[in-house]
Amino acid sequence: MNWTGIVIHHSLSHDVSAEEIDRWHKKRGWRGIGYHCVIRKNGKIEPGRNITQQGAHAKGRNHTHIGICLTGNFEREKPPEKQINSLIKVITILKMVYDIQKIERHHERCPGKLFPFKQVLKKVGE
Ligand SMILES: [Zn+2]
């Protein structure tokens, strides 16, 4: 894959494992988890779909963008600092490995209005 972007999501759920999201997405008839990475509330980084494969997380951007999902519902709650710090680490590493040009939200309500998108961009040098 020739990754040029990253899309950030929230799971719109409780604090779930990548394995559980994998089961949800299989039920939808997909090949399994559509995100490349899941970040838990305690900061744990869990691998999702292999980075060598296209994800299934953002229509029209799946062939160019890596999908990262933070667990929680950020329409209702703020992500914990540990979770945001892990996200910053993951993005920083991905930027060293790939020619990432864009870090984007999924859409207006994903990852939720309480997700500190501007702060995250600043921390990764965007
Ligand atoms: Zn999303």
The pLDDT value recorded for residue 29 is 93
Gap from CA of 34 to ligand 1 centroid (Å): 10
pLDDT at 59 over 90: yes
96 alpha carbon – ligand 1 mean position (Å):
24
Residue 74 pLDDT > 90: yes
> What average pLDDT does the structure give for the chain?
97
pTM of the model: 0.97
Calculate how far, in angstroms, residue 111's C-alpha sits from the geometric centre of ligand 1: 6
pLDDT at 126: 87
Residue 44 has pLDDT above 90, yes or no: yes
Please list, in sequence order, all residues whose beta carbon lies within 8 angstroms of the beta carbon of residue 39, skipping any fewer than 6 positions away: 45, 46, 68, 69, 70, 71, 83, 86, 87, 90
Q: Domains along the chain?
A: 5-123 (3.40.80.10)
Ligand 1 centre distance from Cα of residue 92 (Å): 20
- How confident is the model over 57-68, as a mean pLDDT? 97
